[in-house]
Amino acid sequence: MFSIEISTFLGRFHPLIVHFPIGFIFLGILIETYTNIIKLRIHRKVIAFCWMMGLITSIFAVIFGWLLTLNGYYIENQISLHKWSGVFLLFLTFIGWLIKSNILNLFKKQDFFINFLVILTLVIVGHQGANITHGKNYLYEYLPSNINNFFQEKKNVKYYENSEIDSIKIFTDLILPVFENKCIDCHNQNIKSGGLNMLTIKDIKNGGLSGKSIIAGNSSKSLIFQRATLSQDNKKFMPPTGIPLTYDEINLIKWWIDKYLNSDLKLSELKLSGEEKSLLEKLYKINMNPKPYYEKLKDLPKINIDELEVLEKSEFKWNFISDNYELLEIKFTGKKIDDEKILKLKKFSNHIVSLSMTNCKLTNDNLQKISDLYNLVNLDINNNSNISDDGIKFLKNLENLEKINLYGTNVSNLIFENLVEFKKLKKIYLWKTNVTKNEVDKFNLENSDKQIFLGI
């Protein structure tokens, strides 16, 4: 048996050798057709000779092609069609030679039939072979772009432009897709080339025949990184066939090995540098700036403007926060508010994201009436001295509240117990209230996601 080195060396002659059968068979068919047209009688042995040469060189083409597959660098499901149609072509050439040399007499139109069948198979086998050598898009690449779009094979790229960053996991969603595109065909649980399966972190860590393929915190010592960054003409370069990793993909793998190999963290759990963010944006269109809450509210039913205008009678001013959303900003403009007026807002309880009721003698009980404004993000109730800690308790349902202005109200240090329960609350304004600076500093220190402001 040949060693892998010798079989690879010989196998590489396959793309050269395949041109001989093509040439001989075409020549045979050409001579036959041409002499038929001009009605020249030549000895049939000339044609049979061309087919015999075609047959002999086909046998070599098949053997050398088979040698080429032995090195394991070709993925079986990508080459099997080429391989078996190549063998079929060899069989057809054999039948063709039998016919042309009058050993076999099938039926009347046999000459035309075998010529046609062989040419058709030759074109198919040749095209598949060229796809393997030059890539699937080679033939169509330079067609005008509208025709070319039809033929080009679509790349399987994942983008996360609409995903929340707390749903994106580092290995599963960022690293594995790169491996799936470029490595997994040869490194999975069934085909473990070099003994390496790259489907899970654990398998990757276990490595292949050469031992560990990856070392946490040390990309330059990790086999996976080393083999993907060799010079492309090095025979150890990975992937050995197909499209190499891009510069950005290599940086991504390096970032993963150096920093986050040990667990499949969510993107939202990391503190990323500007450079890291722009890499992720470039590769996956991930927008690292958290999206405002209202972006999730695209599909609210349309607001009836006539009904909105009724609010004005109760001294509410209204405004749409943007043209694209059915979301409202409401401001009370009167001097004194009461439950009846507040209940007018009920109709729009899903649509109100910002509410201002300042300096209008608002009471704790009034606050109970706004506890169903579920999508409220911003609440301004400053300068209402009747508001105390008890009123804040009524707001606990407002899970999406991000900002609350309580300046000039009567809340005290007791408010801190309530504030921690607002998960999304980020900014709290408490100037001119009964809270003390010491407690505020303590709260700010303990709750890094929230910030209390004691001045304007």
Q: How far is the CB of 167 from ligand HEC (least distance, A)?
A: 26
By beta-carbon proximity to ligand HEC, the closer residue of 193 and 366 is: 193
Q: Is 185 in the site for ligand HEC (CB under 6 A)?
A: yes
Can residue 282 be called a binding residue for ligand HEC (CB under 6 A)?
no
- For residue 77, give the nearest of 1, 199, 226, 184 by alpha carbon: 184
* Residue from 393, 346, 407, 390 nearest 372 by CA: 346
186 binds ligand HEC (CB under 6 A): yes
Which of 55, 228, 279, 373 binds ligand HEC (CB under 6 A)? It is 228
Work out the angle at residue 346's Cα, subtended by the Cα atoms of residues 341 and 352, and round it to the nearest 5 degrees: 100
Distance CA 55, CA 20 (A): 10
Distance CA 356, CA 334 (A): 11
Residue 194 within binding range of ligand HEC, rule CB under 6 A = yes
Which CB sits closer to ligand HEC, 28 or 65? 65
236 binds ligand HEC (CB under 6 A): yes
* Rounded distance between C-alpha atoms, residue 48 and residue 43, angstroms: 9
Query: Amino acid letter at 307?
Result: E
Instruction: Give dist(CA 234, CA 227) in Å, integer.
Output: 9
Work out which of 8, 213, 375, 383 binds ligand HEC, going by CB under 6 A. Answer: 213
Q: Which is nearer to ligand HEC, 25 or 238 (CB)?
A: 238
Q: Which listed range, 36-44, 157-165, 185-193, 265-273, lies at the site for ligand HEC (CB under 6 A)?
A: 185-193
Short-list 141, 174, 422, 402, CA closest to 279: 174
Stretch that binds ligand HEC, among 101-109, 183-191, 341-349, 369-377 (CB under 6 A): 183-191
CB 31 within 8 A of CB 42: yes
Among 100, 227, 341, 351, binds ligand HEC (CB under 6 A): 227
- Find how far residue 358's CA is from the centre of its chain: 47
**What do you get for the CA distance between the two ends of the chain, in Å?**
85
Stretch that binds ligand HEC, among 99-107, 135-143, 241-249, 387-395 (CB under 6 A): 241-249
Burial category of 287 from C-beta neighbours within 10 Å (exposed 0-12, middle 13-18, buried 19 and up)? middle
Site for ligand HEC contains 72 (CB under 6 A):
yes
Closest among 379, 343, 387, 345 to 362, alpha carbons compared? 387
**If binding is defined by CB under 6 A, does position 80 make contact with ligand HEC?**
no
Q: How far is the CB of 265 from ligand HEC (least distance, A)?
A: 22
CB 175 → ligand HEC: shortest distance, Å?
Answer: 11
Residues that bind ligand HEC (CB under 6 A): 72-73, 75, 182-183, 185-187, 193-196, 207-210, 213, 223-224, 227-228, 236, 238-242, 245
